[in-house]
């Protein structure tokens, strides 16, 4: 079994199929929501399998596995597999989508780690679909229900379909939705960085890990010399929101939105970069993510280019910054965060 709650849940997802409790459909189509690469298909016919994944690193991994990644909400499926996210409104909306896409008599199967909300997820599916069956293994729970209109709570289904819909936050300035990072507020670290940004950033810049676009809007509001800004974001659900949130800036500045895994490097070069890089995986610190963002920024900046970065104070980024930049200074430390400016050598 692979390490980590997400990998353990994936290992457990197909347990009822391999144990003979569920039959893999011989003809009907199979849908895998929040799909991940590395599932134990073990001689199962997967030609009819369609995967959906909005997180770019996982989508890339699925494509390397040769999986089909469509965008088809109109089809119905004999079997719907899903790995529910931890955010409960987002998960409930996903259960609703799974039931909506299952044909009558089709089966919805979900798997979660015990410490990632498995019991709550099972209870939610039971509320929505009626009778639920379950098994436990790998410190996870896999649970499933048959799509039966006579058992489904139609009123609850209609409500849950809307639970992760985009909605205004921050007095209506931004559109966000459950499941996106800091979805219901202005993230404190990003706000601290925005408050300390200079007003002389100019030329072509990038925002790495742009989320729903807050930091990018602040860059453009404070720096009239910016001629182009690229937003890099691995989560497609967040990037779609950023398009809306920066709509008023498109036209006066060249703004591009890139669904991209920053840890694999950047395809363009820049005069400046801003970033509040991610550092959590499965609720654990992964400073390697931020370090990879810093390395990508160093490689993509032109000589004399500037990186403006915010991070939790305890994260060990200084060595990576020292390797990639000629000058590094801490601008401010406050509220558990540090704002850093790093300038690439060679100006």
What's the average model confidence in pLDDT over 203-219? 98
Q: Average pLDDT of 9-19? A: 96
152 and 176 inside one domain:
no
Q: Are 279 and 285 in contact (CB under 8 A)?
A: yes
pLDDT at 280 over 70: no
Question: In the prediction, which pLDDT does 251 show?
Answer: 85
In this structure, the answer to whether residues 155 and 176 fall within a common structural domain is: no
Q: Based on the domain organization, do 141 and 230 belong to the same domain?
A: no
Phi, psi of 151 (to 5 degrees): -105, -25
What is the tens place of the pLDDT at every residue in 159-168?
Answer: 999 999 999 9
CA distance 81 to 73: 14
| Domain range for 14 | 5-160
The domain total for the chain is 2
Scanning 225-302, the segments in alpha helix (DSSP H) are 236-245, 287-300
pLDDT band at 217 (very low <50, low <70, confident <90, very high): very high
- For 133-156, the pLDDT digits (tens) are 999 999 999 999 999 999 999 999
Which pLDDT value is given to residue 214? 98
How do 102-113 and 284-285 pair as beta strands? unpaired
Task: Compute CA distances 169 → 149, 180, 238, 243, whole Å.
Answer: 35, 13, 14, 15
Q: Which of 133, 160, 187 is the last residue of a domain?
A: 160
Count of CB atoms situated within 10 Å of the CB of 256 = 13
State the chain's mean pLDDT as an integer: 94
pLDDT at 68: 81
Query: 206 and 266: one domain?
Result: yes
Contact between 255 and 227 (Cβ < 8 Å): no
Query: Which of 141, 160, 179 is a domain's end point?
Result: 160
Share of the chain above pLDDT 90, in %: 88
For range 68-82, the mean pLDDT = 84
What single DSSP character describes residue 92? H
Q: Are residues 282 and 258 in the same domain?
A: yes
171 and 122 housed in the same domain: no
pLDDT confidence of residue 167: 97
**Statement to judge: residues 24 and 117 lie in one domain:** yes
Same domain, yes or no, for 285 and 326? Answer: yes
Calculate ∠ Cα 263-178-340, nearest 5°: 40
For residue 17, count other CB atoms closer than 10 A to its CB: 21
What pLDDT was estimated at residue 69? Answer: 82
Integer Cα distance of 228 and 226 in angstroms: 6
What are the distances in angstroms from CA 304 to CA 158, 266, 319?
54, 18, 19
Backbone phi, psi, residue 307, to 5°: -110, 125
**Whether residue 131 sits in one domain with residue 39:** yes
List the one residue out of 331, 329, 326 whose CA is nearest residue 301.
Answer: 326
Are 343 and 326 spatial neighbours (Cβ–Cβ below 8 Å)? Answer: yes
**Range with lowest mean pLDDT among 47-61, 69-83, 314-328:** 69-83
Q: Identify the pLDDT of residue 3.
A: 62
| Three-state secondary-structure class, residue 132 | coil
Cα 277 to Cα 6, 127, 207, 218, 273, distances in angstroms: 21, 37, 10, 16, 12
DSSP at 249: T
pLDDT tens per residue across span 100-115:
999 999 999 999 999 9
**What is the CATH number for 42?**
3.40.50.150
Does the pLDDT at position 284 exceed 60?
no
Secondary structure of 204-236 as H, E, C letters = EEEEECCCCCHHHHHHHHHCCEEEEEEEEECEH
Residues 94 and 181 in one domain: no
- The pLDDT of residue 1: 38
pLDDT of residue 70: 77
Q: Looking at the structure, tell me whether residues 124 and 187 fall in a common domain.
A: no
Are 179 and 164 contacting, i.e. CB atoms less than 8 angstroms apart?
yes
User: pLDDT at residue 8 above 90?
Assistant: yes
- 172 SS3 class: coil
331 and 182 in a common domain? yes
Residue where one domain finishes, among candidates 131, 160, 189: 160
Using an 8 Å Cβ cutoff, are 135 and 123 in contact? Answer: no
3-state secondary structure of 102: strand
């Amino acid at each position: 079994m692979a390490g980590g709650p997400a990998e353990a849940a994936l290992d457990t997802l197909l347990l009822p199929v391999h144990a003979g409790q569920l039959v893999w459909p011989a003809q009907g189509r199979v849908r895998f929501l929040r799909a991940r690469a590395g599932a134990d298909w073990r001689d199962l016919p997967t030609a009819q399998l369609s995967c959906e994944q909005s997180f770019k690193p996982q989508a890339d991994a699925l494509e390397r596995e040769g999986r089909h990644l469509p965008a088809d909400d109109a089809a119905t499926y004999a079997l719907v597999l899903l790995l529910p996210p931890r955010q409960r409104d987002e998960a409930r909306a996903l259960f609703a989508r799974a039931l909506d896409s299952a044909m009558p008599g089709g089966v919805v199967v979900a798997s979660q780690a015990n410490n990632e909300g498995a019991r709550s997820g099972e209870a939610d599916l039971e509320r929505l679909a009626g009778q639920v069956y379950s098994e436990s293994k790998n410190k996870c729970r896999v649970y499933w229900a048959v799509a039966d209109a006579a058992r489904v709570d139609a009123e609850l289904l209609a409500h849950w379909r809307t639970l992760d819909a985009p909605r205004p936050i921050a007095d209506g300035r931004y559109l966000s939705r459950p499941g996106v990072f800091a979805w219901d507020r202005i993230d404190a670290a990003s706000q601290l960085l925005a408050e300390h940004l200079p007003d002389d950033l100019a030329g072509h810049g990038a925002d790495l890990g742009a989320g729903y676009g807050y930091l990018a809007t602040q860059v453009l509001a404070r720096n009239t010399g910016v001629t182009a800004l690229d937003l890099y974001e691995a989560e497609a659900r967040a990037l779609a929101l950023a398009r809306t949130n920066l709509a008023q800036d498109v036209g006066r500045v060249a703004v591009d939105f890139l669904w991209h895994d920053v840890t694999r490097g950047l395809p363009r070069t820049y005069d400046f970069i801003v970033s509040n890089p991610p550092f959590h995986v499965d609720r654990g610190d992964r400073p390697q993510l931020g370090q990879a963002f810093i390395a990508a920024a160093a490689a993509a900046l032109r000589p004399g280019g500037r990186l403006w970065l915010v991070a939790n104070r305890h994260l060990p980024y200084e060595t990576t910054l020292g390797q990639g930049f000629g000058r590094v200074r801490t601008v401010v430390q406050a509220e558990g965060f540090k704002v850093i400016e790093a300038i690439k050598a060679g100006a």
